Amino acid sequence: MLRTTVDSVVSFYGSFATRPDLTTNQDILQDLAVALLDKGTTERDKFQIAEELESRGAEIRFHSMATRIAFSGKCLNRDVTPVIGICAEQLRKPSLSEDEYNKVLPRLQASVMQSMESTGAQSGSALRRLIFDKNHPNFAHAPEAEMEMLSDTKLADIAGYYRSRAGANEFVLVVVGDFEADDVTKAVSTGFGEWPDQNVSRKYDRSPVEKSGSPVHIPMRDKQNLDVRIGHAVDVIRTHRDYLPLYLGIFILGGNFSSRLMDTIRDKEGLTYGIYAQLNGVSSEFCGYFLVRATFSADTLDVGIRRTNELIAEFAENGISPEELASKKKTVSGSYKVGLASTGSLARTIGTNIISGLGAEYVDLFASLVEGVSVEEVNAALSKWIDPDKLLTATAGTLGT
Amino acid sequence: MDTVVSFVQESGGVKEYKLDSNGLQILIMQDLSAPVVACMITYRVGSRNETSGLTGATHFLEHLMFKGSEKYNKAKGTSVFNVLQDVGARMNATTWMDRTNYYELLPAEHLDLALDIESDRMRNALILPEDVESERTVILNEFDRGENEPTRKLYHEVWTTAYSAHPYHHPTIGWRSDIENVTASDLRGFYDRFYWPRNATLSIVGSIDIDEALEMVSRRFSSIPEGPEPALVTTREPEQLGLRRTTVSQAGELGSLMMAFKAVSADDDDALALDVLSIILARGKTSRLYRALLETSLASGVDASNTALRDPGLFYVFAVLNPESDHAVIEEAVWNEIQSISREGVTQAEVDSAIGQLQALEAYSRDGAFSIVQQLNEAIASGDWKLYTEYLNRLEAVTPDDIQRVARSYLTDNRATIGKYIPA
């Protein structure tokens, strides 16, 4: 719990481990179960709950993540007890009814169909399929396959999955804002006390397998802007000692408007509206990937990809300079602080840090840890983990004629 | 502090001052919840101020404002991005129909840097022909990104169809041919008409000492001349005489429907009733259209909103169809709900719930300095910053009769433009 001086508002963020078995598509079962969590409980239907929340202006959302189920909420301080109570009721006693399942399924299918219209979603998911095998949490299903899997699900399997996985497994709840500590303690104890643990041992791959392949293009009609994703796996987890040096190095390449990629590809050469690099999909339990994402109009696609690869190669070969690191340390530390300026972002950041094995106090340590990273550490990490020869590429959109 | 700023008024914790030398409006609020400050300058110029051939000029100019001045430019290693991101600032700019805004959210001790940059680029932007050329392809790529999205195209088509005379007719990013042909000289002309203190409002919210902040503002902005009289937009949209329809046909997967109605300007009291009506219609599971469209599996999503603008904007309902659904069925279902409200009204409980939701949203909007300046920004653009701070008090006066009256007055055939996106 963290009290802040914001007036009247309370935000919370929590999650628990579920670790779906990816080989049997339990991730799809989890997505459906999560979509059903706000559709009524064994005690009240969804409209009764919605009336309680909406009349107070309160919000609760549930999120299906790779290995966990997360939830977040926001309410006025006078409502913190009933809202945490409702959240606990939804998580612990969902009705998971046939009627609601029949309504949720087409909505999820519609959402997958909408992702099929997006060049960003199509290229991003294609790259994740290029980099990872199905048994890695960063793998992404092709939308067509996801549609088929959704159609094949049965409510009994969804309910069985949820009831066997939902529980106080590595449970984290962070509450931030303007509240009385006693109120929150009682509400959490009443709502989540004695929620039993479930066995959710890991069944997925933590590291990637070595992969190579030709560029993949997802053809789409009427998409004159093409999305490009370039990257490869990086066998580093969040608590690895190379994480922070690598994060800083990649930030110098493409973390913001004054990065190398934006400075050259957008600002000097005018080839794109946006190009970014990041270390993506890293958790305390599994590795992530180096990702460069950009958009190019059809007539600048080829030169845009070529220039991007040239800049990545130059970056990997020569590393970064002390001046760049000094500048970006200030950027990263300052923006971390700036990113904690609302109760919602503070709750989410602290919650994520705890899940990542970094601890609640990490928000206070971050700036000094960043400051302690040397140029040599960054360049050593880049040299070890970024390899231009291993880059894989996915594009989506309408190619020029 | 010397008396170079004058106190004007206070509302909702926000204090308004005026810089005596040039009339720059300053809104300032202390918020100690985090050690940051949000600084935003809002220019009262948007796509509403553009004429044929120069559509998109406001947005193009916004991009050019990051290309530098004599003091802040890339050649010297002092580009706006470099110096601000060096101190951890989150910054950007946006352009909309009635305004252009530039903002920085940064550690509180760096407020003076943000003020120096904003005061400098108010009159010293270089706007070089070579920068216009390199930025043109960037903006064309941004344009293409927008063209990729059928729902965005539908949104533009509906506005274009609804407005025949008023400049809300054209999209803020402009028509492609205008982006391709605008010159540095055109943009310089635009800059020289609108980027002056008397056409701007500076908002500062965060962990600051108000007197110190005002002293910094005074030091940075006082020497700038007030500028010419702001240009007025005098075009009024002529009365619409019947229902209008438009269709977007483009490759895609799911159809969508937008039903829009010419409504009122943001400062009209009826705007509040329309806000409440939008909640009753489409916010949350208890809303009427959730029950009519999502519970019946006709649609996979529905939204309603009253667009708050300086001149009368659109109240709209937007629905994303389910794969097997038909536009006509969804349209009929929406008309049924509108007619039910027009005929029978709404309950006091519905109004109370909607106002409760809007009250909570207002409280959430004060969670974080940046969120507060964003709200101020939209109110400034609509003509009066107090539209934000007085919103809750005015909202409490809305009654079920008001909801029925605005539904009858505005959600009618003669104000309607209905757009369909049909996947090709």
CATH (domain of A264):
3.30.830.10
pLDDT for B94 = 97
Yes or no, beta carbons of B367 and A9 under 8 Å apart: yes
C-alpha B132, offset from chain centre: 25
Q: Are A88 and A192 in contact (CB under 8 A)?
A: yes
A220 CB near a chain B CB, below 8 Å? yes
The answer to the question of residue A331 being in a domain is: yes
Split into its structural domains, chain A has a count of: 2
Average pLDDT along chain B: 95
Query: What is the rounded distance in angstroms from the CA atom of residue A252 to the CA atom of residue A278?
Result: 10
Nearest chain A alpha carbon to B358 = A57
Strands B25-30 and B14-19 turn out to be antiparallel
What is Dmax (Cα atoms) for chain B?
Answer: 69
Q: Tell me, yes or no, if A273 comes closer than 8 A to chain B by beta carbon.
A: yes
Instruction: Tell me whether residues B371 and A11 touch, CB distance under 8 A.
Output: no
Q: How far apart are CA A147 and CA A105, in angstroms?
A: 10
Scan for tokens 């390199």, then name that residue.
Answer: B134
User: Strand, helix or coil at A311?
Assistant: helix
Residue A225 lies in a domain: yes
Q: Using CA atoms, how far apart are residues A388 and A310, in angstroms rounded to an integer?
A: 9
Interface test with B, best of A54, A266, A366 (most B CBs within 10 A): A54
Q: How confident is the model at residue B85 (pLDDT cuts 50, 70, 90)?
A: confident
Residues A8 and A107 in one domain: yes
Burial A55-83 (b: 16+ CB within 10 A, else e): bbbbbbebebbbbbbbbbbbbbbebbbeb
**pLDDT at residue B2, as a whole number:** 54
The answer on A281 and A329 residing in a single domain is yes
DSSP B22-74: T--EEEEEE-TTSSEEEEEEEES--GGG--TT-TTHHHHHHHHTTS-BSSS-G
Q: Is B90–A270 a contact, with Cβ atoms under 8 angstroms apart?
A: no
A199 in reach of chain B (CB within 8 A)? no
Strand ranges inside B115-214, DSSP E: 200-206
Beta pairing, strands A225-234 & B256-262: unpaired
Residue A12 falls inside a structural domain = yes
Cβ of residue A264 closer than 8 Å to a chain B Cβ: no
* A136 Cα distance to chain centroid: 15
CATH T-level assignment (fold) for domain B244-423: Cytochrome Bc1 Complex; Chain A, domain 1 (3.30.830)
Q: Which of residues 54-73 of B touch A (CB under 8 A)?
A: 66
Same domain, A164 and A299: no
The answer to whether position A198 is within a domain reads no
φ/ψ of residue A43, rounded to 5: -105, -30
Contact B297 A103 (CB under 8 A): yes
Distance from CA of B373 to the nearest CA of A (A): 13
Residues in chain A closer than 8 A to B136 (CB atoms): 270
The answer on A302 and A241 residing in a single domain is yes
Closest CA to B304 of B272, B328, B338, B277: B277
| B285: chain A residues, CB-CB within 8 Å | 38, 46-47, 50, 54
Assigned domain for A206 exists: no
Interchain pair A110, B320: CB under 8 A: yes
In this structure, are A238 and A160 located in the same domain? no
Q: Is A205 contained in some domain?
A: no
SS3 A166: coil
| Tens digits of residue pLDDT in A235-263 | 999 999 999 999 999 999 999 888 999 99
Task: Write out chain B residues lying below 8 Å of A7, CB-based.
Answer: 363, 366
Any residues with CB less than 8 A from the CB of A270 and at least 6 apart, and which? B133, B134, B135, B136, B137, B138
**pLDDT of A360:** 92
Three-state DSSP state, B319? strand
* Per-residue model confidence (pLDDT) at position A205: 82
With an 8 Å Cβ cutoff, is B209 touching chain A?
Answer: no
Distance CA A342, CA B38 (A): 12
Q: What is the pLDDT of residues B351-366, one digit of tens each?
A: 999 999 998 888 888 8
What is the domain partition of chain B in residue ranges? 5-221, 244-423
Interior/surface letters B160-177, b for 16+ CB within 10 angstroms, e for the rest: bbbbeebbbbbbbbbeee
pLDDT at A4: 64
Based on the domain organization, do A20 and A143 belong to the same domain? yes
Quick check: A116 and B105 CB within 8 A?
A: no
Residue of A147, A227, A325, A338 to mutate when probing chain B, most B C-beta within 10 A? A338
Q: Which of A107, A271, A300 sits opposite B300 (nearest CB)?
A: A107
Amino acid B214 reads: L
Written as one string, the DSSP assignment of B172-190 is: TT--HHHHHH--HHHHHHH
Instruction: Give phi and psi for B92, each to the nearest 5.
Output: -175, -165
Residue A240 and residue A152 in one domain: no
> Sign of the CA dihedral B186, B379, B217, B363?
negative
Nearest to A55 by CA among B211, B353, B260: B353
* Chain A CB within 8 Å of residue B348 CB: no
Q: What pLDDT does A2 receive? A: 66
> What is the nearest CA distance from A272 to chain B, expressed in angstroms?
5
CA-nearest residue of chain B to A6? Answer: B33
Please report residues of A whose CB lies closer than 8 A to that of B138. Answer: 266, 270, 272-273
Chain B interface includes A11 (CB < 8 A): yes
Put simply, the chain A residues between 137 and 176 with a CB less than 8 A from any chain B CB are none
In terms of domains, do A117 and A68 share one? yes
Q: What is the pLDDT of residues B119-153, one digit of tens each?
A: 999 999 999 999 999 999 999 999 999 999 999 99
B85/A114 touch (CB, cutoff 8 Å), yes or no: no
A–B interface: beta-carbon pairs under 8 A: 198
Same domain, A276 and A170: no
* pLDDT on residue B3: 58
- Gap from A205 CA to chain B (nearest CA, Å): 34
Kindly state whether residue A203 falls inside one of the protein's structural domains.
no
Q: Is the pLDDT of residue B193 over 70?
A: yes
Same domain? For A118 and A156 the reply is yes
Same domain, A131 and A236: no
ipTM score: 0.85
B236: Cα within 13 Å, side-chain hemisphere: 5
- B42-58 in b/e burial notation, b at 16+ Cβ within 10 A? bbbbbbbbbeeebbbbb
Secondary structure class of A16 (helix, strand, coil): strand
Question: DSSP string of A115-148?
Answer: HTT-HHHHHHHHHHHHH--TTSTT----HHHHHH
B364 CB neighbours in chain A (<8 A) are: 9, 74
Nearest-CA residue of chain B relative to A39?
A: B285
> For residues A89 and B400, what is the distance between their CA atoms, to the nearest angstrom?
33
DSSP string, B209-228: -HHHHHHHHHHHHTTS---S
Find the residue in A nearest to B295 (Cα).
A103
Q: Are A223 and A297 in contact (CB under 8 A)?
A: no
Task: Tell me: pLDDT of B297 over 70.
Answer: yes
Contact between A221 and B90 using a beta-carbon 8 Å cutoff: no
Give the residue from chain B lying closest to A220, CA to CA: B251
Using an 8 Å Cβ cutoff, are B171 and B57 in contact?
no
What residue numbers bound the domain in which A313 lies? Answer: 216-397
CATH number given to B5-221: 3.30.830.10
CB-based contact A110 B323, cutoff 8 Å? yes
| A171 and A263 both lie in a single domain | no
Nearest C-alpha neighbor of B119 from the set B190, B225, B209: B225
Residues of chain A where predicted confidence (pLDDT) is lower than 50: none
| Number of neighbours of residue B254 by Cβ within 10 angstroms | 23
